[in-house]
């Protein structure tokens, strides 16, 4: 049985320990073990991250990303479990389409994964999905009115998480934006806040397991805190509509980047521990598609940047390991009932080995070939393990397509 030793993050602290792995799971944790062990010395051994919000673009848009390239990028950034969204082509809104997508990607995933089922008007239940997703914004076919969302919440109950893109369709102005400031005006924060107020009110009398995706404003946090699960993205923490990009449309996302004051307050709430989940909303497009602002699709890559930039923030003392563990490991695992995220007996042996002395420049790992974070200082995991098997060794991916298992 493999035995891994080092400075292990357990119970909120770093402690010298060894854990024993059998059949991909942790079967024991001890202070020390004699012989037959892999000792990482002073390197930090930390649970691998879980990213609950990615768009790996398969099926339908494989020229931007596919499940192999997306999950490989995740692995190299220290993420061993992802939840993939259903706005594909065709959109995943039926059990038949869900099964086709699952078959298509089955032998391509490099990390473990769950697949969302989209809701269009009414719920079609799916035993194998990790959760359900709905857009209130009307940006695609996966759309519900507030009345339909209310019915969906009643029908689903607490069976599986329901992830919501919370922008009210009627509030959004379409087209005409030629820069990030105008895009933000078209989808002002009131569109998000109005949606969240209605969701919180509806959820009071229900047992639905709601998660609000990519919250962008401190006002939303005040409404949601202690009531409904929610997350923020790295790009909403670090960028505003005043940020400069190689092409301005690289920063075009939905919901949009807010003003610098809003961004700063959101960031401060994050480092204070007021936000439960950090999600990448990894949504790659080609640079060519990002050339003309008005016609450019919304979204940017991020699964390859989130953990490395967070680890650099730990090194700089801006956040601590406890906060990072909560938002990228513990809370995502709890929300979806995933058997990962902590070093405990019976949990999957998913972990990363970190040398905090090695600082690199962030590089794009996604198939799309670019990143808004490119060139920023980052700390990548030196080694990454998926269920006890090493998939990244000395910063190089050594895993195989098909190693990842679907979680439902």
Report, as residue numbers or ranges, the catalytic residues: 281
- ∠ Cα 125 128 129 (to 5°): 70
Q: Is 1 exposed, middle or buried (0-12, 13-18, 19+ CB in 10 A)?
A: exposed
d(CA 163, CA 281): 12
d(CA 127, CA 156): 12
Which 3 state secondary structure label does DSSP give 95? helix
Enclosing H/E stretch for 227 = none
Here the tokens at position 58 are 């398969």
- Residues 209 and 200 sit within 8 Å (Cβ to Cβ): no
Which 3 state secondary structure label does DSSP give 286? coil
CA neighbor of 43 nearest in space, from 78, 9, 76: 9
d(CA 141, CA 224): 26
Query: Alpha-carbon dihedral of residues 178, 181, 183, 189, nearest 10 degrees?
Result: -170
Here the tokens at position 179 are 């820069």
- Residues 389 and 24 sit within 8 Å (Cβ to Cβ): yes
Angle between helices 189-203 and 146-156 (to 10 degrees): 40
> Which residue is listed with tokens 């990009």?
245
- Residues 300 and 372 sit within 8 Å (Cβ to Cβ): yes
């Amino acid at each position: 049985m493999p035995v891994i030793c080092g400075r292990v993050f357990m119970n909120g602290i770093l402690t010298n320990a060894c854990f024993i792995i059998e059949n991909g799971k942790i079967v024991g944790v001890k202070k020390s073990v004699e012989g037959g062990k892999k000792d990482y010395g002073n390197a930090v051994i930390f649970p691998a991250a879980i990213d609950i919000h990615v768009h790996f673009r398969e099926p339908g848009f494989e020229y931007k990303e596919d499940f192999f390239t997306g999950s490989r990028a995740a692995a190299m950034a220290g993420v061993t479990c992802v939840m993939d969204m259903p706005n594909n082509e065709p959109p995943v809104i039926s059990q038949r389409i869900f099964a086709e997508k699952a078959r298509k990607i089955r032998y391509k995933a490099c990390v473990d994964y769950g697949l969302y089922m989209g809701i269009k008007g009414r719920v079609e239940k799916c035993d194998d999905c990790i959760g359900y997703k709905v857009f209130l914004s009307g940006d695609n076919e996966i759309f519900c009115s507030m009345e339909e969302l209310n019915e969906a919440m009643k029908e689903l109950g607490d069976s599986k998480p329901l992830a919501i893109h919370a922008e009210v369709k009627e509030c959004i102005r379409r087209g005409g934006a030629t820069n990030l400031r105008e895009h933000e005006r078209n989808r002002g924060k009131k569109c998000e806040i109005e949606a969240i107020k209605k969701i919180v009110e509806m959820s009071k009398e229900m047992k639905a397991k709601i998660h609000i995706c990519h919250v962008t404003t401190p006002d939303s946090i005040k409404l949601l805190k202690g009531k409904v699960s929610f997350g923020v993205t790295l790009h909403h923490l670090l960028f505003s509509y005043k940020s400069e990009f190689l092409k301005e449309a690289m920063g075009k996302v939905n919901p949009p980047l807010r003003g610098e004051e809003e961004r700063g307050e959101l960031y401060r709430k994050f480092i204070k521990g007021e936000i439960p989940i950090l999600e990448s909303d990894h949504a790659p497009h080609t640079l060519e598609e990002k050339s003309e602002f008005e016609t450019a699709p919304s979204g940017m890559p991020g699964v390859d940047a989130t953990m490395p930039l967070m680890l650099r923030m730990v090194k700089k003392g801006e956040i601590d390991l406890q906060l990072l563990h909560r938002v990228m490991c513990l809370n995502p695992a709890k929300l979806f009932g995933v058997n990962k995220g902590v070093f405990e007996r019976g949990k999957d042996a998913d972990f990363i080995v970190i040398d905090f002395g090695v600082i690199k420049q962030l590089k794009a790992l996604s198939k799309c070939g670019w990143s808004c974070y490119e060139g920023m200082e980052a700390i990548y995991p030196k080694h990454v393990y998926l269920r006890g098997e090493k998939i990244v060794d000395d910063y190089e991916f050594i895993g195989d397509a098909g190693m990842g298992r679907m979680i439902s």
